[in-house]
Structure 1
Amino acid sequence: MNTDATDIIAYGVTADERPLLQAAFDGQHRLRCLDLTLDADTVTTAVGHRIVCSGVNDVLDAAVLRALAAGGTRMITQRATGYNNIDLEAARTAGIGVARVSYYSPYAVAEFAWALALAANRRVPRAVTRTRDFDFRLTGLMGRDFHGRTAGILGTGKIGTAFARIAAGFGMRLLGHDVAPSEECLALGMKYAGTDRLFAEADLISLHLPLLPETHHLVDAAALARMKDDAILINTSRGGLIDAQALVETLRAGRLDGVGLDVYEEEAGVFFFDHSLDVMTDDVLARLMTFRNVLVSSHQAYFTRDAVGQIVEATARNVADYLAGRTGENTLVPPAGSS
């Protein structure tokens, strides 16, 4: 072991991710991998670890950050692009640097969003469940062509653009919404519009926006009311973009042809864990799961060998940069004492 090795603790590490992280730091640093979520109840596990490697469902609020700093943590490297779970000002005050993964394969998320859209449209889960029972009827399985219909894409960054390219391949009309139009999306024929028009005209709506105060519950009761009764709604970005209670009421009214959710606003402590023997106390999530036209997956859109490999590589670079006193494109809060 390197005599300059640093103690690193990683939270929310899956069995598939663990060997990749271990290989990235083997022989260089002392890495401890946990499947726990980091929050006020588990923060004591980080005592003595200079670097914390966090995930999207960890709770890094002011209280947790103060506890981390008191325990010797000086750097947080988040294994994700989003960082809405981290209080950056509190980290700066506590003297803790913060970095993220600013880029990984956009195709992983875009392709999974399409997997949800296609499965919802063509009733694939219901069909597979039936055929496993040797029920080969087609009743209730009718979908529709995406060709010639309108895809509404909110957020046309790297992931939204990758989603748009696939939509164009299906021969769909493209409507987009973003503060900065994508030249590539414009070249595909995308027309940019306000959210009111996009919600009203789109047959398929896919969310690829970051979770910010201005995007929180962007899809609320009013937005849902504007959508076509047979629209399909997909969210592989952040759960807080959708008002889940309003979505339940919309579905109860018999509206929306399909919904695919890879994220959920209250997923922390639920997603990534086995609750098959527990009573589900989240009434909204439990209700969503009862609708036959709703597909819920466990925040797995990013989970390909390509994307996770890139995330691990970027995480290792973030650690190396911190130890060398460097900042870069992944830096959100410079480490204390850096320029």
Structure 2
Amino acid sequence: MITLGENHIFMKIAVFSTCSYDKDFLELLNTGHELSYFTETLNLQNVLLTKGFDALCIFVNDKADAEILPKLAENGIKLILLRCAGFNNVNLEVAGELGIKVLHVPAYSPEAVAEHAMAMILTLNRKIHKAYNRVREGNFSLENLMGFNMLGCKVALIGTGNIGKAFYRILKGFGCQVSAFDPSPDAELQSEGLKYENLKDVLNDAEIVSLHCPLNEDTFHMINAITLKLFKKGAMLINTSRGGLIATADVIDALKSGQLGYLGLDVYEQESKLFFKDLSANIIQDDLISRLISFPNVLITAHQGFFTKEAMSQIAAVTFSNADNFCKGLPMNNELLN
């Protein structure tokens, strides 16, 4: 039940997909709400856990789809607080019909993700991960560790929102030749010299392709057998956005044929069953990611791009600001509408 404090309105909030670091930052920046933590991802099997709460606080792999949302409404949930920018895991139309408000954190630290994308590029290019393991084994040979200069490298930037914009400026600092695709070109970036083209022309002969766009019906599997043929042979693909942007089986085929020379993934289409968990003592049942891990030219991190102190602080602060605005009837600038 929402209750009125001396100078504040409080809610009971169920926090799903909680890791220790989530709890640390949420506790530190809590504006007075009653939080209950669940390590599980929200799904149809555990939706009963939401009974008795006013609001949910969820992350990228929690489901709030057309099947789950009515049950949330029955349990009294009035508000969904996303601890992220992406919202493809929430059915906004159904939420609206049920009167459940959905708020997100539209920008917490674009630089965090952009810097991680560049870290992946440099690691794959200069084979830092291989060199690290070699030296630990006493192997100081440079054989098969050759990279290429970033200066003058042709990069296709797919999506120029907050993260794409931050990444463009990093690429510019390296002296890369950057062209971009985005249905809504950014005038500020255009004034800085960024050239926008259609997707086919941007991908054509690209040496590095980096994805920085949301997942929706227009972008689902935008990197597939057809678009991969537009890449320069041996090119690099980086995805720090959403796993569903890539048709994984097609990417594996491109790696096997050599059409794709490098792959860096911080996201994966079936990541909800894997990421944010310690499965080191288990047999991984996902054959696609097992195949990807077997390639020497593939680098996978487990949705780590956002993970900086600055970003975590901002996520928690904005999440509680969203909750407070809802409680006080103030304008909700971060509300997601269908």
For residue 100 of structure 2, what is the aligned residue in structure 1?
Answer: 96
What amino acid is the match of 2:243?
Answer: G
CA–CA distance in structure 1, aligned partners of residues 81 and 186 of structure 2: 29
CA–CA distance in structure 2, aligned partners of residues 266 and 327 of structure 1: 36
Q: Does 1:18 align with 2:23?
A: yes
For residue 337 of structure 1, what is the aligned residue in structure 2?
Answer: none
For residue 130 of structure 2, what is the aligned residue in structure 1?
Answer: 126
For residue 205 of structure 2, what is the aligned residue in structure 1?
Answer: 201
Unaligned runs of 5+ in 1: 335-339
CA–CA distance in structure 1, aligned partners of residues 137 and 174 of structure 2: 32
For residue 299 of structure 2, what is the aligned residue in structure 1?
Answer: 295
CA–CA distance in structure 1, aligned partners of residues 75 and 293 of structure 2: 40
* Per-residue deviation, 1:254: 2.3
Q: Is the 8 A contact 1:206 1:233 kept in 2?
A: yes
* Partner deviation per Cα, 1:12-49 (whole Å, 9 max, x = no partner): 122122111012226x2210122211111121221111
CA–CA distance in structure 2, aligned partners of residues 159 and 190 of structure 1: 15
* Per-residue deviation, 1:200: 1.6
CA–CA distance in structure 1, aligned partners of residues 195 and 136 of structure 2: 43
* Per-residue deviation, 1:194: 1.4
For residue 48 of structure 2, what is the aligned residue in structure 1?
Answer: 44
Q: Is the 8 A contact 1:289 1:296 kept in 2?
A: yes
What amino acid is the match of 1:267?
Answer: E
* Per-residue deviation, 1:106: 0.9
Q: Is the 8 A contact 2:251 2:260 kept in 1?
A: no
Q: Is the 8 A contact 1:121 1:257 kept in 2?
A: no
* Partner deviation per Cα, 1:146-196 (whole Å, 9 max, x = no partner): 101111100011111111111111111111111122233223322211111
For residue 10 of structure 2, what is the aligned residue in structure 1?
Answer: 5
Q: Does 1:154 align with 2:158?
A: yes
Matches within 5 A, 1:21-32: 21-25=26-30, 28-32=32-36
For residue 215 of structure 1, what is the aligned residue in structure 2?
Answer: 219
CA–CA distance in structure 2, aligned partners of residues 38 and 54 of structure 1: 8
Identity %: 38
* Per-residue deviation, 1:122: 0.7
Matches within 5 A, 1:54-203: 54-203=58-207
For residue 317 of structure 2, what is the aligned residue in structure 1?
Answer: 313
What amino acid is the match of 2:249?
Answer: Q
What amino acid is the match of 1:96?
Answer: I
CA–CA distance in structure 1, aligned partners of residues 136 and 49 of structure 2: 45
Matches within 5 A, 1:254-269: 254-269=258-273
Number of aligned positions between the proteins: 333
SS at structure 2 position matched to 1:281: coil
Q: Is the 8 A contact 1:165 1:188 kept in 2?
A: no
SS at structure 2 position matched to 1:179: coil
For residue 236 of structure 2, what is the aligned residue in structure 1?
Answer: 232
* Partner deviation per Cα, 1:237-265 (whole Å, 9 max, x = no partner): 01111111100111111232211100011
* Per-residue deviation, 1:305: 0.8
Q: CA RMSD in A?
A: 1.6
Q: Is the 8 A contact 1:56 1:82 kept in 2?
A: yes
TM normalised by structure 2 equals 0.95
CA–CA distance in structure 2, aligned partners of residues 180 and 72 of structure 1: 38
CA–CA distance in structure 2, aligned partners of residues 63 and 325 of structure 1: 28
Unaligned runs of 5+ in 2: none
Q: Is the 8 A contact 1:98 1:332 kept in 2?
A: yes
Q: Does 1:275 align with 2:279?
A: yes
* Partner deviation per Cα, 1:275-333 (whole Å, 9 max, x = no partner): 11222111111111111101111111111111111111110011101111233220115
* Partner deviation per Cα, 1:103-148 (whole Å, 9 max, x = no partner): 2111011000000011011111111111111111111111000101
CA–CA distance in structure 2, aligned partners of residues 30 and 191 of structure 1: 49
TM normalised by structure 1 equals 0.95
